[in-house]
Amino acid sequence: MGSDSLGKNSKYIEIVNLRHFYPIKRGIFRRVVGHVKAVNDVSFDIRGGETLGLVGESGCGKTTVGRAILRLIKPTAGEVRFKGVDVGVLQERDNTALRRGMQIIFQDPYGSLNPRMTVEDIIGEAPRYHGIVPRGELAGYVGEIMEKVGLRPESRTKYPHEFSGGQRQRIGIARVLAMKPEFVVCDEPVSALDVSIQSQVLNLLADLRSEFSLTYLFISHDLSVVRHISDRVAVLYLGRMVEIAPKESFFERPMHPYSQALISAIPSPSPDTPKNRIMLEGDVPSPINPPDGCIFSTRCPKAMPRCASESPHLAERTGSGDGHMVACFLYE
Ligand code: SF4
């Protein structure tokens, strides 16, 4: 399951100049009067076997990135390559293979499960449709997958409402795992769960990644969660990527002023440990009319005159060669 001939450092998924603009329509003729620039010229790689955490505040475009990679929405522009193949072309040619290899775990485990289907049918429906296992072996296969995610196979005839929130997310994970995926977008998979359950589900996802050589894009607004599970961290602000780095480098030496503010807001494990929280002024600007120059310039405590008119590029600035990249004039 999930076998990958690519090395860990290969460009397993490549996102190149991805844009997604939602049209704003008004009037009886539904004329397009503007666009919500949800994702604006984003490029990054995901390496085979890694977990890349994608963070940012609500509305920053991270879910749109995840859905555009999986082609659940058609991006306005840009390219996504899965093991060197353009996903847009792959979708037209062989949608089945695409769907099987690339899967998504949703935030709301209850909303994403059909309440009228038993767990056995929920997990077994897609493998049956795609012929993942012979029909005669499907029941045994579903039982195996249930055990892998920590569910008792005896509960296969139950319905989603008979399970707890954490168990329902395990059903959602089992449904994805049953498709033998290689790459999984985890879209806020624990944010609807109690804190006490979150680490159990995170540990399960980490174990499954190791066992089945999976690659994750882990989308979250919660930096503590991202720190727990990710190998690298990417930060989005208002549809643009402002920093991407190995986890250790990111949390020890965050470079972008926005990342520094996000990290300063992580609650301290001990109430006695003083925190120098960086408070950002103002609201996040509208993605319909984002600021000129640096996207963060209207809220940045370190903004300089040029930041209002010039846009910094994402580039490696540390000189360490560890791939820590930032889009900020402070490091030029
Ligand atoms: Fe702040 Fe300027 Fe850096 Fe943007 S480029 S983050 S406004 S200092």
Domain boundaries, the chain: 4-84+220-268+275-331
Phi, psi angle pair for 314, to nearest 5°: -75, 120
Say how many Å lie between the CA of residue 306 and the centre of ligand 1.
9
Distance CA 58, CA 48 (A): 27
Separation between Cα atoms, residue 4 and residue 2, nearest integer Å: 6
> What is the residue with the minimal CA distance to atom 8 of ligand 1?
303
Atom of ligand 1 nearest to the CA of 300: 1
* Atom of ligand 1 lying closest to residue 294 CA: 4
Position 83 confidence tier, pLDDT thresholds 50, 70, 90:
confident
Q: What is the mean pLDDT of residues 267-272?
A: 73
Considering all CA atoms of the chain, what is the largest pairwise distance in Å, rounded to the nearest integer? 69
327 lines ligand 1 (CB under 6 A): no
- CB distance 330 to ligand 1 below 6 Å: yes
- By the 8 A CB rule, do 187 and 63 touch? yes
CB 311 within 8 A of CB 293: yes
State how far the Cα of 88 lies from the Cα of 82, in Å rounded to an integer: 10
Does residue 314's CB lie within 6 angstroms of at least one atom of ligand 1?
A: no
The topology (CATH level 3) of 4-84+220-268+275-331 is Rossmann fold (3.40.50)
Reported confidence tier of residue 91, pLDDT bands at 50, 70, 90:
low
**How does strand 215-220 pair with strand 183-187?**
parallel
CA 316/CA 264 separation, integer angstroms: 23
Q: Whose CA is nearest to atom 3 of ligand 1?
A: 328
Supply the Cα-derived Rg of the chain in whole angstroms.
Answer: 21
Pick the atom of ligand 1 nearest to 257's CA: 6
Q: Is the pLDDT of residue 41 over 90?
A: yes
251 pocket-lining for ligand 1 (C-beta < 6 Å): no
Residue 99, pLDDT > 80, answer no
In the predicted model, is pLDDT for residue 1 greater than 70?
A: no
- Predicted pLDDT at 279: 86
Q: What is the pTM of this model?
A: 0.93
Q: In what order do the strands lie in the sheet with 325-326?
A: 102-105, 183-187, 215-220, 51-55, 232-237, 240-246, 325-326, 315-316
Long-range contacts of 264-269 (CB under 8 A, 24+ apart): 265/223, 266/223, 266/224, 266/227, 267/224
Q: What is the pLDDT of residues 146-193, one digit of tens each?
A: 999 999 999 999 999 999 999 999 999 999 999 999 999 999 999 989
State the distance from the centre of ligand 1 to the C-alpha of 315, rounded, in angstroms. Answer: 14
Confidence of residue 87 (pLDDT cuts 50, 70, 90): confident
Q: What proportions of the chain, in percent to the nearest 5, are helix, strand and coil?
A: 35, 25, 40
209: left (phi over 0), alpha (psi -120 to 50) or beta: alpha
Please work out whether the CB of residue 307 comes within 6 Å of at least one atom of ligand 1: yes
Asked whether 266 lines ligand 1 (CB < 6 A), one says no
- The finding on whether 293 has its CB within 6 A of some atom of ligand 1 is no
Q: Can you say whether residue 200 is alpha, beta or left, with left for phi > 0 and alpha for psi between -120 and 50 degrees?
A: alpha
What value does the mean pLDDT take over residues 33-55?
96
pLDDT computed for residue 317 by the predictor: 87
Which residue lies with its CA nearest to atom 5 of ligand 1?
Answer: 328
**Sorting pLDDT into bands at 50, 70 and 90, what band is 2?**
very low
Mean residue pLDDT across the chain: 91
Strand 85-86, strand 102-105: pairing: unpaired
Each residue's pLDDT tens digit, 106-136: 988 778 899 999 999 999 999 999 899 999 9
pLDDT tens digits, one per residue of 182-239: 999 999 999 989 988 999 999 999 999 999 999 999 999 999 999 999 999 999 999 9
Asked if pLDDT for residue 95 goes beyond 70, the answer is no
Q: Give me the pLDDT at residue 7, please.
A: 46
Pair 96, 130: CB distance under 8 Å: yes
297 CA: nearest ligand 1 atom: 7
